Structure 1
């Protein structure tokens, strides 16, 4: 919103006229692009891709973060042995680095594991639904046979 627009709205409000302003709202009549389908759609391929990316990030982050940690700790040790106070500070940063990397690794593992669980649970749900529908069709068939007799 421009400054002059704000000033105009303040003046209209002071004069008792109700300014018409729409904040954080979808324009009426359409929008969203959802049509008759829901807004959220996820395909198994998408879930697999996200899970794979999380697993790859977990592997790479674990491997490459060690290089930074080891280099920082060596540098910290060298600075400290030479009498620089910066050595202790760098050592502290390296310790915090380990904590933060572990948090990220845990998050990546959680994402990957959750998506694997979700995939398996959906497969189990599909099998249950198929079994239930199969039972219903067998029941219907029994009723149809009895009706024909």
Structure 2
């Protein structure tokens, strides 16, 4: 009887190992913490975190939104901001777009969203399907690290 239990247990472990390997062999992306400070002019920034629970890296290649026809992704290094073609999202890691760092940039806004509202965006990736995200509009000075 003990031998049968050992076989069943080891078979279960083998099946579990196979299923987790196959599910983690590709990017598995989730987005959280998405927000936009209320714009004070005709441009705005968006912030969020993309988590990759999968075993393969991906890249954020672009962002689209009805709020602006000119939406780009930017990195900030050495107090300088520059447009980039893509951001890496490591396997079993994350891409954090946050105040003072990398972010989504919206130019020539078609309207000015107000706190309490939401801005719809679509994130586009190298390997994964696009993800629709709602950025919660917050007061201009909002910083989640201080709340």
The question of a shared fold, defined as TM-score above 0.5 by the shorter chain, is answered with: no
More helix by share: 1
Q: Larger RCO: Structure 1 or Structure 2 (Cα < 8 Å, ≥ 6 residues apart)?
A: 2
More strand by share: 2
Shorter-chain TM-score bucket reads under 0.3
So what's the TM-score if we normalise by structure 2? 0.23
